[in-house]
Amino acid sequence: MANFNVHLMGAVTVSGVTATALTMTGMFPHQAVIGYFVLGVIGGLLPDIDSPHSIPVRIAFMAVAVAAGFLLVFTFGRRYSLVELLALWLGCFLLLRYGVFALLDRLTVHRGLIHSIPAGIGFGLATTLVAYHAFNASVIHAWLCGAFVTLGFIVHLLLDEFYSVDLLGKKLLKSSFGTALSLGSLSQPIGTAALYLTIVGLFLLCPSPRPFAELILDGATYRGVTQRLLPGEVWFPNLLPRLPPDLPGR
Ligand SMILES: [Zn+2]
């Protein structure tokens, strides 16, 4: 099995189950839950952005570059002319595709610092920060966005640990076991220290996680979910509308 597919399926499954449980609490609008799900899936693919030559990463990068262009156009759509918007879009695309992409390629080693637990936490915090400040999300919504990214990210690391296969699906040496769930890298002490400092900085910039933590730790949040964990005596009661009693031919 190709590793990319394993990661995609893993992220879709875990995010899907978590998002479904959130829907059952009845506390979150549907659009928000879909957003969390998508963020969880993105989180599940993020750790491998440090191997830019794998085809899925290249495709994902192209998609991000295009999406970022759209975001720019949506933001400035009412202010500028068509030609200016196209120039913005093209500039954004080229910057991401040839600037950031090339930089990532030169700076990162696969399964280096980006492929670690603190990086997963950092990406989650950055998501919370952007959701809160740039998209005016509520505190709980912003933290849920970040939590899903980190959740998907950790699922990816766990899957790498279990499968110990590389991006092309080839078996790695046994020695790779234990490297996926890393807390940093002793061979990159400065990078590791910078990573932890970044996490602290991001956390301080984020809104207080207290309302989010209270909601997550409150048993009442899950009452509806635990009560409906398993089907009752009948599966899918009232799924189909009852047939009218006087159907012709009965
Ligand atoms: Zn990986």
Opening angle at CA 69, ends 64 and 70, nearest 5: 100
Distance 70 CA to ligand 1 centre (A): 28
Range of the structural domain that residue 41 is part of: 3-51+108-172+181-227
Q: Is residue 148 a contact partner of residue 40, using CB atoms and an 8 Å limit?
A: yes
Distance 83 CA to ligand 1 centre (A): 40
128 Cβ contact partners less than 8 Å away, ≥ 6 residues apart: 142, 143, 145, 146, 147, 206, 207
Whole-number pLDDT of residue 180: 66
Distance 140 CA to ligand 1 centre (A): 29
- pTM comes to 0.73
Among 131-135, 155-159, 193-197, which is the least confidently predicted range?
131-135
Distance 223 CA to ligand 1 centre (A): 35
Distance 63 CA to ligand 1 centre (A): 19
Distance 185 CA to ligand 1 centre (A): 16
Whole-number pLDDT of residue 97: 79
Distance 50 CA to ligand 1 centre (A): 9
Instruction: With respect to residue 101, please indicate whether it lies within any of the assigned structural domains.
Output: no
H-run or E-run covering 13 = helix 3-25
CB-proximal residues (5 Å) to ion ligand 1: 47-48, 160
DSSP 172: P
**pLDDT 10s digits, 41-72:** 989 988 887 666 666 677 777 777 887 887 77
Spatial separation of the C-alpha atoms in residues 20 and 177, rounded to whole Å: 32
Instruction: With respect to residue 64, please indicate whether it lies within any of the assigned structural domains.
Output: no
Instruction: With respect to residue 35, please indicate whether it lies within any of the assigned structural domains.
Output: yes
Q: Tell me how many domains the chain contains.
A: 1
Instruction: With respect to residue 102, please indicate whether it lies within any of the assigned structural domains.
Output: no
User: What mean pLDDT comes out for the span 138-165?
Assistant: 89
Spatial separation of the C-alpha atoms in residues 107 and 84, rounded to whole Å: 33
Residue indicated by tokens 């398993």: 230
Whole-number pLDDT of residue 1: 31
Q: Is residue 28 a contact partner of residue 164, using CB atoms and an 8 Å limit?
A: no
Distance 108 CA to ligand 1 centre (A): 13
pLDDT confidence of 169, banded at 50, 70, 90?
A: low
Instruction: With respect to residue 59, please indicate whether it lies within any of the assigned structural domains.
Output: no
Strand partners, 171: 165
**pLDDT 10s digits, 178-225:** 566 788 777 778 888 889 999 999 999 999 999 898 888 887 777 767
Distance 161 CA to ligand 1 centre (A): 9
Instruction: With respect to residue 218, please indicate whether it lies within any of the assigned structural domains.
Output: yes
**pLDDT > 50? residue 236:** yes
**Which comes out higher in pLDDT, residue 111 or 166?**
111
Instruction: With respect to residue 40, please indicate whether it lies within any of the assigned structural domains.
Output: yes
Instruction: With respect to residue 144, please indicate whether it lies within any of the assigned structural domains.
Output: yes
With b for 16 or more beta-carbon neighbours within 10 A and e for fewer, the 57-87 pattern comes to beebbeebbeebbeebbeeeeeeeeeeebee
Spatial separation of the C-alpha atoms in residues 195 and 180, rounded to whole Å: 17
